[in-house]
């Protein structure tokens, strides 16, 4: 059974969050902290779980809407940190709602999650994996530390993630009609990476905190930071 924990408070364009959740394996179980909120991205996740009768465990501190806890497979009174500890024990994958309005806080949380050993995917960007680059760490010039995405990896991607990759690569609309066409267009192009910079001594204004670039440019950036 696939285990996913949903964190973050960000939002994104219409249907992206829903398409990503829909493309996950049907036997998935979601772990989510439930509370009263008007945050649109979080509410979209709640609505999707309820509308699709998904299997989810609702963690709460007694302030969650009754509908969310009543429809859950299980309701657990706990803190967010306790929920994350459960996810670690289950080796769950984190689906993260990146918040463009507070990238500093999102960066801190994503970095902390990755450092704890969890795999983190961006739920606002087609399940793109987060790549953490620490400019204080040594880069082995003999190793290609940012490997291109292979055809096999593209074939395993959910359709929503594949569409996001195709859009990032500028694949023409006429090649978005089938998964096979998108893959053919992608394997003939350069791969991209989502890069989160832990700035170290660099002032925050000198470099963006997170951005998407080609693998070649990402590697050059790492080399330039050393």
Q: pLDDT tens digit string along 128-185?
A: 898 776 544 444 444 444 456 777 777 777 777 777 777 777 777 666 667 787 888 7
The answer to whether residue 4 scores a pLDDT higher than 50 is yes
Reduced to 3 states (helix: H, G, I; strand: E, B; else coil), residue 55 is: strand
Measured CA to CA, the distance from residue 181 to residue 171 in angstroms comes to 10
List, for residues 96-128, the tens digit of each pLDDT value: 999 999 999 999 999 999 999 999 999 999 898
Residues 147 and 186 in one domain: yes
The model's confidence at residue 90, banded by pLDDT at 50, 70 and 90, is: very high
What's the confidence (pLDDT) of residue 143? 43
Residues 199 and 183 in one domain: yes
User: HSE of 155 in the Cβ direction (CA atoms, 13 Å)?
Assistant: 5
Domain range holding 112?
Answer: 3-129
Question: Which of 57-61, 193-197, 208-212, 218-222 has the weakest average pLDDT?
Answer: 208-212
Residues 47 and 116 in one domain: yes
Structural element, H or E, at residue 201 = none
Q: Which of 86, 112, 129 is the last residue of a domain?
A: 129
**pTM of the predicted structure, to 2 decimals:** 0.64
Residues 17 and 114 in one domain: yes
Reduced to 3 states (helix: H, G, I; strand: E, B; else coil), residue 3 is: strand
Percent of the chain with pLDDT over 70: 73
The answer to whether residue 58 scores a pLDDT higher than 90 is yes
Residues 110 and 203 in one domain: no
Q: Which of 96, 129, 162 is the last residue of a domain?
A: 129
Select from 112, 107, 131, 117 the least CA-distant residue to 10: 107
Residues 187 and 90 in one domain: no
What's the confidence (pLDDT) of residue 56? 97
Query: What's the structural domain count of the chain?
Result: 2
What's the confidence (pLDDT) of residue 144? 46
Residues 30 and 81 in one domain: yes
Residues 6+ apart with CB under 8 A from 55: 28, 29, 30, 73
* φ, ψ at 107 (rounded to 5°): -60, -45
Residues 88 and 173 in one domain: no
């Amino acid at each position: 059974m696939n285990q996913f924990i949903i964190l973050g408070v960000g939002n994104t364009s219409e249907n992206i969050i829903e398409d990503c959740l829909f493309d996950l394996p049907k036997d998935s179980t979601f772990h989510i902290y439930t509370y009263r909120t008007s945050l649109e991205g979080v509410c979209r996740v709640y609505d999707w779980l309820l509308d699709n009768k998904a299997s989810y465990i609702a963690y709460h501190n007694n302030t969650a809407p009754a509908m969310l806890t009543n429809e859950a497979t299980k309701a657990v009174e706990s803190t967010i940190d306790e929920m994350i500890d459960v996810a670690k024990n289950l080796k769950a994958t984190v689906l993260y709602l990146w918040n463009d309005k507070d990238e500093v806080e999102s960066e801190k949380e994503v970095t902390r999650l990755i450092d704890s050993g969890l795999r983190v995917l961006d739920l606002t960007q087609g399940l793109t994996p987060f790549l953490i680059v620490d400019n204080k760490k040594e880069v082995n010039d003999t190793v290609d530390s940012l490997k291109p995405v292979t055809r096999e990896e593209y074939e395993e991607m959910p359709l929503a993630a594949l569409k996001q990759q195709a859009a990032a690569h500028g694949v023409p609309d006429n090649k978005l009609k089938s998964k096979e066409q998108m893959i053919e267009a992608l394997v003939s192009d350069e791969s991209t990476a989502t890069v989160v910079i832990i700035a170290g001594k660099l002032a925050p204004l000198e470099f963006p905190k997170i951005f998407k670039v080609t693998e070649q440019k990402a590697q050059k950036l790492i080399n330039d930071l050393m």
